[in-house]
Amino acid sequence: MGGLRKLAWAILVLGTACSGARQAGKVDAAAARTQGVGGSGMAGALPASANTPYVDEELGFEIVRPSDEWQLDETNERTPEGLSIPVVLRHPPSGAQVVLQVAPAVATPTQFAERLTEGLRQQPGFTTTDPVPLSLSDNAVGFDFQVGDGVHGRVAVRDGRKGHVLMMLATWPAQAVASVMQNVDALIEGIRPLPDHKTPPGTLPQARRAR
């Protein structure tokens, strides 16, 4: 039952992303100028530029944005089952966005992707391709989907740091040009697990997560 709840929540998040219901968070200007890493705590500082990684030590991932046009909003959402949505990334010029989910590794990336495709195909208006291997890592998989005639999307699932799986759920308007999809792929490639017990060089200490 826990796995089904995680799947249902993932589908709900993806549907929310497609509808555009999620509102962008407001970033304090002083925080936006702070160099270093972000994090899931209230005191986290967002990267000042695309060259500065956003790092979450607790959930074990980093994000390198392909350009400053990608805005990063901390959401810090978490379910009792342990599924987290730490950040949402938005590309205002195109309307694209990527929702990052971090889940307990109760299944392999392939199994997560298969369950997601099965679940999405049961939702009105959703069509998906079959999961295929991705070059992100040895066991990364992904698939494309479409919602009616207005929204296209892509899902990528890969191993996170030990005990976690990273799921990237991307959406963009159907009329978007090819460069938008390339931009989305570049961002997905920039979301990756941190090495165990290693802080990336050139970053400031991680802000403590609020309890």
Tally the domains of the chain: 1
pLDDT in tens, 43-98: 344 665 777 899 999 999 999 999 999 999 998 888 777 789 999 999 999 999 99
Return the beta strands (E) in 68-115 as ranges: 71-78, 84-91, 96-104
Please report whether residue 44 resides in a domain: no
| Greater pLDDT, 25 or 128 | 128
Please report whether residue 172 resides in a domain: yes
| Greater pLDDT, 62 or 10 | 62
Please report whether residue 46 resides in a domain: no
How far is residue 47 from each of residues 6, 33, 172, measured CA to CA in Å? 30, 8, 24
Please report whether residue 188 resides in a domain: yes
Please report whether residue 18 resides in a domain: yes
Residue 160's pLDDT band, with cuts at 50, 70 and 90, is very high
Please report whether residue 138 resides in a domain: yes
Residues contacting 210, CB < 8 A, separation 6+: 40, 41, 42, 43, 76
Question: CATH code at 157?
Answer: 3.40.1000.10
Phi and psi at 162, nearest 5°, equal: -45, 125
Model-level pTM greater than 0.85? no
Phi and psi at 52, nearest 5°, equal: -100, 115
Please report whether residue 34 resides in a domain: no
Domain that residue 152 falls in: 2-24+67-193
pLDDT at 49: 72
Ramachandran region, residue 11 (left: φ > 0; alpha: ψ -120 to 50; beta: rest): alpha
Please report whether residue 29 resides in a domain: no
Q: Are 123 and 148 in contact (CB under 8 A)?
A: no
